[in-house]
Amino acid sequence: MGQSTIDGYQTVKKNQLDFCDNKKASFTTASFQRLIQTSKGILTMTNSQPEDLTTRVATIEEQLNHIIDELDLIRTIQNGVRVEVRATSQSTARLERTVRQLAEISARTQAVVVRQQDELQQYRTDIRQNQENINRMLAYLENPHRGDTMPN
């Protein structure tokens, strides 16, 4: 086996180990690119000068197992993201319903406030008119011979 083949193998193994060490980290584009590089390394190794066949098969199986582990990790992450998206969507829907209900309550409350303000204004007008009538009656009663007729 030539020196470049050994160096290539060691580089692929290092990339493979680095990639596998990142299992606990979130899956990123860089991790995916490493996965592709590792796969290319396998192809490069299989196309190079043959070495011991059992060693090559064992190496390829080991690398494939690492790739399968990474794919399982990706699947797990995707499932977790789906669950989080579903939960977030449900929470958003509940919040939207609550906001809509609060808006309806606010509109009804505002209508009641406007109606009560109108009634209050009418009561104040009625009280003023009644007060004016009472004042005119008192004025007439205090001086009944003034010549004025009693107000209505």
SS3 78: helix
Question: One digit per residue, pLDDT tens: the chain, 152 residues?
Answer: 444 444 444 454 455 444 444 444 444 566 666 666 666 665 555 555 556 888 989 999 999 999 999 999 999 999 999 999 999 999 999 999 999 999 999 999 999 999 999 999 999 999 999 999 999 999 888 887 765 555 55
Which are the contacts of 107, defined by CB distance < 8 A and separation ≥ 6?
none
The pTM of the full predicted model, rounded to 2 decimals, is 0.45
Region of residue 147 (left: phi > 0; alpha: psi -120 to 50; beta: else): left
pLDDT at 39: 62
Supply angle C-alpha 109, 113, 115, rounded to 5: 115
Rounded to an integer, what distance in angstroms lies between the CA atom of residue 127 and that of residue 54?
107
Residue extents of the structural domains in the chain? 3-101
